[in-house]
Each structure stands twice: as C-alpha cells, then as structure tokens.
Amino acid sequence: MTIPVPIRITVALVAVSALVLGVWMGLMRIGWFFGTPPAPGTHGPILVLGFLGTVIGMERAVAVGRSWAWATPILAAGSVITMLTGAPTELTGALLLVAGSVLVALFATAYRMQPEPHIILMGVGAVAWVLAAGTWLAGEPVPSLVPWLAAFLILTIAGERLELARLIATTRSAKMQLAGAVAVVIVGSAIAWAYGETGARIAGLGNLLIALWLLRYDIARRTIRLGGVTRYMAAGLLIGYAWLAVSGALWITTGLQMASTGYDAALHTLFLGFIMSMIMAHAPIVIPALAGLAFPFGREMWIPLIFLQISVIVRVTGDLTGSYEMKRWGGMLNAIALALLVLIVITTVVRGEIAKRKPHTTV
Ligand code: HEM
C-alpha cells in the first residue's frame, strides 16, 4: 500500500507552515511584534520536531519505501496541529513519542538488512528524539529538551554524512573517534536531566568533537574544489561544521544557562548556523528526491546561504556584546535569509518544471 499523494502533500504543507509559524514565534521572542503568533512557547519544538522531524521522517519514509514508515512524518505533522491549537502538552508529547519510536523501529529494521555504523548513528539520533518527547511528556519545560533536540539533529546529520564518507573508506580508528564523540553527547545530555549546566557542558564538548570529526573526514573537503552545485553543497556543509564547533565551545562556556549572555548564541549558532546551513546545502538533492520535482541549480542559491551566515554573525555579535538592537536585527536578518531560501527554491522548482514540460524541438 502506498501513501496517497494528497496525504503526502498535506504533510509537506504542514511542515512548511511549522517553519513559517516557528520563525514568527522566534521573531516575537526576539522583540519584533507582527501580531501574536499561536503558542509562541513552542518555538523550539515546532521547528525541530514539527518542521525538521516531519521533513526527516518524510525523507526516510521515501528512502525505505515502506508505508508504515510514513507514521513518523504524519504524527510529527499532527503534533504541529496540536501545538498550534493549544491542545494539552501530553497529547503533543505522546504523538511525538510514537513518531520518534516509529523512526527508531525503522532504523532497527534497516540495520537488520544493512548492518552499517551510519544506520546505528541515525538510530541513536532517533532515540534522542524519543527522549526529548518523553522529557516533554513528563512535564519538563521546553529549555530542558534542548540537549536531546540538538542530539537528534546532530546525530542524524552526522549519520547521513558518514553514509557518504563510506565512499572514501573511513578507517576503523576514525569510526572509533566518532563513536567516542557520540558517547560524550549522549552522556552529557543524560547528565543534563539532573545537572543541567554540567550536562550541557559535556554535551557541548561532544558536539565540538563531532564538528572537528566532520571537518576532518567529510568528503566536502575534497568536493569544495569542484564547481557548480557540488561546490555550493560542500561550502554549506563546511561552514555548517564550523558553526557547530563554535556552538560546542559556547555550550561549554555557558553551560546553556538561560541567564548567561551567550545562551541565545549557543542555541542559534547550532540551530541556525549549523542546521539551516545543512538544510540549504542539501536542498538541491533533497527536493528532487522527496517531491520528484526538477531543481535546476543556479548561482542564486548562494544568496540565502551567504545571507544566513552574515545574519548569524550579526546576531551572535549582538548576543556576546550585550547589544539588544544588534541581536534583534540579527534575528530579523535570520528570518529574511530563510524567506529568501523559500523564495529561491520555489522559483527554481517552477523554472525546472516549466523547462521539463516544454516540448523539445529538434533542428
Ligand atoms: C528567525 C529565526 C529565529 C529567531 C528570531 C529565533 C529566536 C529565538 C529566541 C529569542 C529564543 C529564546 C532564547 C532565549 O531565551 O534567550 C529561541 C529559543 C530557541 N530556538 Fe530559536 N529563533 C530562530 C530560529 C530557530 C530555528 C531555525 C530553530 C531550530 C531549527 C530554533 C530553535 C530554538 C530552540 C530549540 C530554542 C530553545 C527552546 C525554546 O526556548 O523554545 N530557532 N529562539
């Protein structure tokens, strides 16, 4: 049984709405008021699990080609609706818990067919999703989910990159180094349940080690020398890894203390600098794979990528120098970078689809 196209489209539209509303909530929280968005307190979970969880779930469901795998993106999209409508947190937490558990089951199934380290890594990332949802379900406040939300995304991305790094035959010692860094992330995030500050510092060290590993072993270091879309993707990845390293250092120094000057910078060097650079880098391959749409890469894709970097630098400088106005403008520039991405992706897809439909003339 395949999942009907209208359901796939609805899930994709809910994911995009989660991005738009999540950014609107973020803008409000940083001091820009364009009316009051629904449920501004769910900014972090709606972006990480509602938007990215749905997109990652869709990508995996398409990759494995099993209809039950669609439970992850469908339930994650359902959680977007419950968050926005102000349904009890228990319901949202339960939906997310089941969605994450299905993802864990998916990786367990995949591992039986293909016992590879990158599948374990992505599976551990999915476990981090389950733990974030469980922590929320247990009534903990949103900031205490942050180490697990971050671990979900970092381990998923590291797993995907490891999958590609297989092409250049990483050594056993390199794999052991990565396993060590992942263990530090998991131990730190678990300690953060009881000792928030200490745990966050340890998890930050793990994030930093993963960043250094990626900078050292990712094939992007080689492909940056090529041209076109390959160079664009490699640049996005390497810049993202650099942000992950900066974020790791900030987690270590701030202990993710909400009252610290660097709290916002520690969060958004990771969630915007690292994660959004990854999304931008992967867009040219994920969009055709997920939606079957043509994506004729053009140089304009560099615009949101470069704009995003400038905007994160402005915001982090504002954070670290205590300049509220600079931080606030940095937040606005972040939102513009994401809007530019959406706009350029839509125009590229439209251009590609028109070109596809044009009758080919032979001379
Ligand atoms: C225009 C873009 C964004 C703005 C203006 C923004 C703004 C904010 C603000 C002001 C906070 C509270 C920080 C504090 O208490 O000092 C926050 C927290 C957070 N943000 Fe963002 N953010 C943006 C994008 C994102 C993105 C893309 C993600 C994830 C992919 C994200 C994830 C989080 C998380 C996990 C938290 C902590 C949990 C929470 O308080 O909800 N943010 N954001």
Residue ID of nearest Cα to ligand 1 atom 29 = 271
Is 60 a residue whose pLDDT tops 70? yes
Is the separation of the CB atoms in 265 and 315 below 8 Å?
A: yes
> pLDDT digits over 96-140, tens only?
999 999 999 999 999 999 999 999 999 999 999 999 999 999 999
Q: What is the tally of helices (H) and strands (E) in the chain?
A: 15, 0
Q: Which atom of ligand 1 is nearest to the CA of 153?
A: 30
> What is the reported pTM?
0.95
Give the model's pLDDT for residue 172: 87
Is 363 a residue whose pLDDT tops 50? no
Share of the chain above pLDDT 90, in %: 82
* Amino acid at position 258, single letter: M
> pLDDT digits over 198-219, tens only?
999 999 999 999 999 999 999 8
> pLDDT digits over 332-353, tens only?
999 999 999 999 999 999 998 8
Residue ID of nearest Cα to ligand 1 atom 7 = 26
CB-based contacts of 44, cutoff 8 Å, min separation 6 = 142, 143, 145, 146, 149, 271
Give the model's pLDDT for residue 4: 83
Give the model's pLDDT for residue 1: 64
Q: In this structure, what token pair is assigned to residue 34?
A: 């364009």
Secondary element (H or E) of residue 106: helix 89-113
Average pLDDT over residues 31-46: 94
CA–centroid distance for 239 within its chain: 15
Is 165 a residue whose pLDDT tops 70? no
Pocket flag, ligand 1, residue 263 (CB < 6 Å): yes
Q: Which of 16, 23, 28, 43 to mutate to test the pocket of ligand 1 (most atoms within 8 A of CB)?
A: 43
> pLDDT digits over 223-263, tens only?
999 989 999 999 999 999 999 999 999 999 999 999 888 99
Is 360 a residue whose pLDDT tops 70? no
* Amino acid at position 109, single letter: T
CB-based contacts of 262, cutoff 8 Å, min separation 6 = 250, 253, 254, 319, 320
What's the Cα-to-Cα distance from 103 to each of 55, 180, 197, rounded to whole Å?
Answer: 12, 23, 29
How far apart (Å, rounded) are the C-alpha atoms in residues 123 and 160?
A: 11
CB-based contacts of 317, cutoff 8 Å, min separation 6 = 323, 326, 330
Radius of gyration of the chain (CA): 20
Pocket flag, ligand 1, residue 20 (CB < 6 Å): no
Give the model's pLDDT for residue 84: 96
